[in-house]
């Protein structure tokens, strides 16, 4: 069987977690494995702060960059008995290249291009460390660079996959490496045709796993998490969460669309097309049964799901000439929203207004005001919460709803959405 495993940052955040990952792989050593790995722990956040400090020529940059180095070297010190292992020189070379890239903003046409060139190093660092350790720990792995296989367009930070080229690239693995070796690669990253690094969006390693699975016609994908499976709510925000044992691809698409963060939104479609089941398992208790996303729809409505999105903004736009919010006005507003890449979480229209709830991005809000304020009056509410409940008929509203003002409410047959102050 060919399986694709994805290990996120929490599952490789320290030496103990990495050893645990190695044991999970050992239990499934008879399968052909493609292992996709994220950056370790909170490395992506640390890289983002390093990039900001370097671009602003902040005096804190050397200290912040040393924190990045120390974090990875300390993990290596716990993993490798040999202080002269070749991984140390390899990491030293990578850090020197990264330091130069962080400080070389003039070499890039845009911030987004510079971002992808630098932030991708979280995954490169983690896979080089893991590749070295898995070899020491007795596994037969081949490390490959995902950028050599996943081809994208130049939409930096949210790149779109060139499926035709990517499928050709990845399919070569079937007759080369996979018959004899397991494969280790990076999540989240790809490359544009001119070899520039791109990324697939934050938390995009899930999507990477689905891309490899689809192109290899894998038997299943397993995402290893620090929770016992797919839960109906965030256990940090809701008490008494329930595990969703089996849900359909369609239901998973709905949950990710509304903001469920356990799976990257683009992950499901490639698996649905090939009918490849997606399993979510606990790396803390790997013996527990997985949650399964597949073509079975019987259980979708049995358990309501609760999704919270914080730091939301409600924008209400009305034509200054008091004309109706007709197709012409809607088309104009949506064209601007698409042009500035402002995604909509909820929208509602009335005779003379359009209200949209979106994630807070001050730069995009300023662009929207600049583009539309001449023709439309724009009202803005900040610091809001969006609560989405799937299959709300069987659900009890959380207690915090009663104490907060509802600015917008929208219901469909299966979904209730509340924008709360």
pTM score over 0.75: yes
Residue 267 DSSP class? G
- Residues 281 and 349 reside in one and the same domain: no
Confidence of residue 396 (pLDDT cuts 50, 70, 90): confident
3-state secondary structure of 357: strand
CA 64/CA 350 separation, integer angstroms: 50
CA-based end-to-end distance of the chain: 50
Instruction: Evaluate whether residue 299 is within a structural domain.
Output: no
> What's the mean pLDDT in 344-368?
94
The domain that contains 106 carries what CATH number?
3.40.1160.10
Both 261 and 311 in one domain: the answer is: no
Tokens of 240: 């008494």
| pLDDT for res 244 | 95
Helix (H) or strand (E) holding 49: helix 43-55
pLDDT, tens digit (0-9, with 9 covering 90-100), for 189-248: 999 987 899 999 888 899 999 999 999 999 999 999 988 899 999 988 898 899 999 999
- Whether residue 264 has pLDDT greater than 90: no
Same domain, 261 and 388: no
What does the pLDDT read at residue 174? 83
My answer on whether 335 and 250 are in the same domain is no
pLDDT at position 312: 97
In a domain, 300, yes or no: no
Say what the pLDDT of residue 209 is: 97
Q: Is the pLDDT of residue 177 over 80?
A: no
Do residue 282 and residue 333 come from a single domain?
A: no
165 with 75, same domain? Answer: yes
Report the alpha-carbon distance of residue 358 to residue 353 in Å, rounded.
Answer: 16
What tokens appear for 331 in the block?
């088309």
Within a domain: 271: yes
pLDDT at 124 over 90: yes
Contact 341, 279 (CB under 8 A): no
233-to-205, 265, 304, 310, 413 alpha-carbon distances in Å: 21, 16, 9, 14, 20
Q: Give me the phi and psi of 212, to 5 degrees please.
A: -65, -40
Residues 141 and 94 in one domain: yes
Q: Please check whether residues 325 and 267 belong to one and the same domain.
A: no
Is 202 part of any domain?
yes
Question: 323-326 long-range contacts, Cβ below 8 Å, gap at least 24?
Answer: 323/352, 324/351, 324/352, 325/349, 325/350, 325/351, 325/352, 325/353, 325/354
SS (H, E, C) 210-253: HHHHHHHCCCEEEEEECCCCCECCCCCCCCCCCECCEEEHHHHH
Mean pLDDT of 174-193: 86
> Which carries the bigger pLDDT value, residue 153 or residue 265?
153
What pLDDT score was predicted for residue 347?
94
Q: What local confidence, expressed as pLDDT, does residue 164 receive?
A: 97
Choose one of 242, 269, 294: the last residue of a domain.
Answer: 294
- The mean-pLDDT minimum among 149-163, 171-185, 256-270, 302-316 falls in 171-185
Check whether residue 360 and residue 312 sit in a common domain: yes
- For the residues 99-109, what does the mean pLDDT come to? 93
> Do 321 and 252 share a structural domain?
no
Percentage, residues of the chain above pLDDT 90 = 84
User: What's residue 296's pLDDT?
Assistant: 94
Of 266, 294, 322, the last residue of a domain is: 294
The answer to whether residue 262 scores a pLDDT higher than 80 is no
| pLDDT value at residue 395 | 87
Q: Which contacts (CB < 8 Å, 24+ apart) does range 144-147 have? A: 144/173, 144/177, 144/183, 144/184, 144/185, 145/185, 145/186, 146/36, 146/185, 146/186, 146/187, 146/189, 146/190, 146/208, 147/120, 147/186, 147/189, 147/190, 147/191, 147/195, 147/197
| pLDDT average, residue stretch 394-413 | 91
**What is the residue range of 413's domain?**
305-420
Rounded CA-CA distance 385/309 in Å is 6
Domain boundary among 242, 267, 294: 294
Residue in this structure with the two tokens 């520039």, named with its chain if needed? 196
Q: What is the pLDDT of residues 156-176, one digit of tens each?
A: 999 999 999 999 999 999 877
Q: How many CB atoms lie within 10 A of CB 66?
A: 11
Per-residue model confidence (pLDDT) at position 290: 96
Residue 332 is inside which H or E element, if any? helix 327-339
- CA 303 from centre of chain: 25
User: Residues 245-261: what's their mean pLDDT?
Assistant: 92
* Mean pLDDT for the chain overall: 93
Q: What is the CATH number of the domain that holds 353?
A: 3.30.2130.10
- The CA distance from 4 to 270, in Å, is 13
**Could you tell me if 129 and 76 are in contact, meaning their C-beta atoms sit under 8 angstroms apart?**
yes
How far is the C-alpha of 189 from the C-alpha of 116, rounded, in Å? 8
36-93 confidence digits (pLDDT tens): 999 999 999 999 999 999 999 988 999 999 999 999 999 999 999 999 999 999 999 9
| Cβ atoms within 10 Å, residue 287 | 7
Asked whether residue 46 is assigned to any structural domain, the reply reads: yes
Both 234 and 339 in one domain: the answer is no
Residue 275: inside a domain: yes
Helix (H, G, I), strand (E, B) or coil at 28: coil
In-domain check, residue 337: yes
pLDDT at residue 306, as a whole number? 96
In a domain, 223, yes or no: yes
Q: d(Cα 254, Cα 269) in Å, to the nearest integer?
A: 12
Residues 280 and 320 grouped into a single domain? no
Domains identified in the chain, total number: 2
CB contact at 8 A, 206 and 267:
yes
């Amino acid at each position: 069987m060919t399986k694709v495993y994805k290990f996120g940052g929490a599952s490789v955040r320290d030496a103990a977690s990495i050893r645990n990952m190695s044991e999970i792989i050992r239990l499934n050593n008879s399968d052909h494995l493609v292992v996709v790995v994220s950056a370790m722990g909170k490395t992506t956040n640390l890289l983002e702060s390093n990039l900001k400090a370097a671009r602003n020529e902040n005096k804190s940059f050397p200290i912040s960059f040393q924190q990045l180095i120390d974090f990875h070297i300390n993990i290596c010190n716990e993993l490798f008995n040999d202080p002269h292992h070749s991984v140390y020189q390899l990491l030293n070379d990578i850090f020197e290249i990264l330091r130069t890239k962080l400080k070389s903003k003039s070499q890039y046409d845009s911030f987004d291009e510079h971002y992808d060139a630098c932030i991708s190093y979280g995954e490169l660092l983690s896979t080089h460390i893991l590749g070295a350790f898995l070899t020491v720990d007795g596994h037969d792995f081949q490390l490959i660079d995902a950028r050599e296989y996943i081809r994208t367009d130049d939409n930096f930070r949210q790149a779109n996959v060139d499926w035709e080229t990517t499928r050709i690239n990845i399919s070569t693995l079937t007759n080369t490496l996979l018959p004899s070796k397991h494969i280790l690669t990076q999540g989240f990253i790809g490359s544009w045709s001119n070899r520039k690094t791109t990324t697939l969006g934050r938390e995009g390693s899930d999507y990477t796993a689905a891309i490899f699975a689809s192109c290899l016609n894998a038997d299943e994908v397993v995402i290893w998490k620090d929770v016992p499976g797919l839960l109906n709510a965030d256990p940090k925000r809701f008490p008494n969460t329930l595990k969703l044992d089996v849900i359909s691809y369609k239901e998973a698409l709905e949950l990710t669309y509304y903001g469920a963060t356990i799976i990257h939104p683009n992950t499901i479609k490639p698996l649905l097309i090939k009918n490849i089941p997606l399993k979510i398992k606990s790396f803390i208790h790997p013996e527990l049964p997985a949650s399964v996303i597949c073509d079975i729809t019987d259980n979708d409505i049995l358990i309501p799901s609760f999704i919270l999105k914080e730091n939301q903004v409600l924008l209400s736009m009305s034509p200054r000439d008091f004309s109706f919010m007709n197709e012409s006005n809607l088309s104009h507003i949506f064209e601007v929203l698409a042009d500035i890449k402002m995604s909509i979480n909820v929208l509602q229209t009335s005779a003379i207004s359009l209200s949209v709830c979106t994630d807070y991005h001050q730069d995009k809000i300023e662009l929207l005001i600049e583009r539309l304020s001449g023709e439309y009056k724009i009202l803005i509410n900040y610091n809001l919460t969006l609560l989405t409940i799937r299959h709300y008929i069987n659900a009890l509203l959380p207690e915090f709803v009663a104490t907060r003002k509802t600015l917008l409410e929208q219901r469909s047959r299966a979904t209730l959405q509340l924008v709360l102050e």
